[in-house]
Every structure is written in structure tokens, then in C-alpha cells.
Amino acid sequence: MEIYPIKFRPIFKQRIWGGRAVSAVFGKTTPPGVKIGESWELADLPEDKSVIVNGPLAGQDIASAIDKLGPAITGKSDYTPPLGLLIKILDASDVLSVQVHPDARTCLRMGKGDPKTECWYIIDAKPGACIYKGLKGGTTKEQFAAAIADGTCAELIEKIAVKIGECHYLPSGTVHAIGAGLLIAEIQQPSDTTYRVFDWNRVGDDGKPRQLHIDEALESIHFDPSFDDLSVKSVGRLVDTEYFKVDKGHMLKGDEILVSAGIMKVIVVLSGCGKIESQTAKTVEFTKGDTVLLPAEYEGVVLFEEDCQYLTVTI
């Protein structure tokens, strides 16, 4: 079978804090009248696997494709599923809950959950938009537990104004929340384990408060984050971890770049459009909002038909 750039059908997630930006900004066909908070662009979780929409593999999910073609896609002879990435577009029309994701040691200690380190690239931000990231210096577990109980825990988390083009790194164990008015590309480990500690006293569509996971969260939060990297970058190599690497690219109309074989790459197109060509596979077009997987054995050229900003993710 020919090796070619692979595109996927997004998986839309309704969220109480979501909006319509995924459709308005990127032209994705979302269900009408529904608040879409997350568009899963590449996923290989047990209940959510991205389905391929182009080429000979169309209709198969990413796990089946890798099972069939193996190292031709991943570039790894010792690959163990699942694919080590979950890529989303988040539309935070309202503020998200205060939450934390566990690290591997915490998952092992508690006997449940999957670790989740992530990063947020700010695609768009309304004036005054902010995020909450990391505890204020000196905050103890006891202090934070008491603040959860009296509804003031957000006061103990660093509130950070954000700008378009920034990438915020959040290692597992970092307590955080996304503020209202943000459109974000999220790259993370393949995990959906989230422990909420506070949800701004709001209720769900059923009129009841959403479930909290206070005990698990308190076990997961890094209360001594002195060794955690909470860096913010906006150019070049944005994130460099053992789990994934993220690079930012900006090409002008008429530019082109060669794609060499050797390592699987995932391109998240933030703006612009173009096409990917080779001598052995059909041309694949891309536009803003697309996520394209370039298999490890693929060789070709990317031609930019408009000015284009994009993220390149590798594992």
C-alpha cells in the first residue's frame, strides 16, 4: 500500500464551557445548537479513535492503520500501542474547572488513571483572557484542601494573562484551569484522566453540580513544584519532553519544505493552506484547522499556497 499524508475526521465533544469557535474559525461541521468545547483531532483511546478520511486507508481508525503498516507509519520497530499523542482544539467560551492530571507515579500509587502531561498553544484570545497555572509559592496541601472546602482555591493558583502565539507547558501534577475567551491547540499524552477540584459553583445541564474528585486531586497535585518546568515559549521548539516535542513553523505563500523519511510527524495547521505532493502518492490538500499525519516512510514536498502557521509534533 502507498504511504501518504493521513487526515482524520474530528471527534467533537460537547462541554458546558464550550462554544461555536471550532466551526466559526476553522469551518468544521459541528452539530447545530450544541456547545462544542473540544475537537479531538488525533486520538487513539479505547473509546475514541480517530478515523481516516482520505486515501486507501479511509474508513479505518488510526490503530488499525498502524497495526497494518506498523513502522511505515510510526518509524518504530518496537512500537507499543496506543499512539502516544492526543491532539485537540479547545474552545473555552467559558472558564473550565480547576483541575489536575496525575503523573505516572500517582497513577501507580492510586492504582487507577493514566498520566497526562500537556501543553496549550494560544490560537486566539479575547482581551483580558487568562489561564490559571500552578500554585502560588508556599501553598501547602492542607491550605489548598481548606480553600477547596470554602470555595477559594482559585485564589491560591497563579493567574496568568495570555497572548496569541504563546505555548504554555503543563507537566502532570500541575493544578490549572483555562479561562474564558480562549481558542487553544492542546497537545498531550493519550489520557482523559482529569480530577476536578472546583467548578466555580456552576451546575450542569441536569441542574446539578458537576462531579468533583477532591481526594484524587489532592493526591495528584505537586505541592512542591520546584522541579516542574512551567515555561512559556512562542518561537522555535516550544516543548521538548520525553513524551512529545512541539515546534512552531511559519511559512510564506510560495514557500516549500521537503519532507524526509525517518520520523513520524503530525502537522497542526493554525492558518493558511497548501498541499503535500510526492512522486508515489496522490496530492493531499490542507487548510487551517487540519491535522495531518506524515508517516515515517513518507517523502515529499509541502507547498504553501498562503502564509501559514503550523505546529509540528513528534514523539
Question: Are the C-beta atoms of 291 and 307 separated by less than 8 Å?
Answer: no
Q: Report the b/e string of 167-181 with b at 16+ CB within 10 A.
A: bbbbbbbbbbbbbeb
Order across the sheet with 256-259: list the strands: 256-259, 300-304, 273-277, 284-287
Q: Shortest CA distance to 188 belongs to which of 28, 5, 43?
A: 43
| 100 DSSP assignment | E
Cβ-contact 180, 130 below 8 angstroms: no
Gap between the Cα atoms of 202 and 199, Å rounded:
6
Which one of the listed residues 20, 196, 210, 237 is annotated catalytic?
Answer: 196
**What are the phi and psi torsion angles at 74 (to 5°)?**
-80, -25
Q: Are the C-beta atoms of 157 and 223 separated by less than 8 Å?
A: no
SS3 70: coil
Q: Is 9 in the active site?
A: no
Task: Catalogue the active-site residues.
Answer: 196
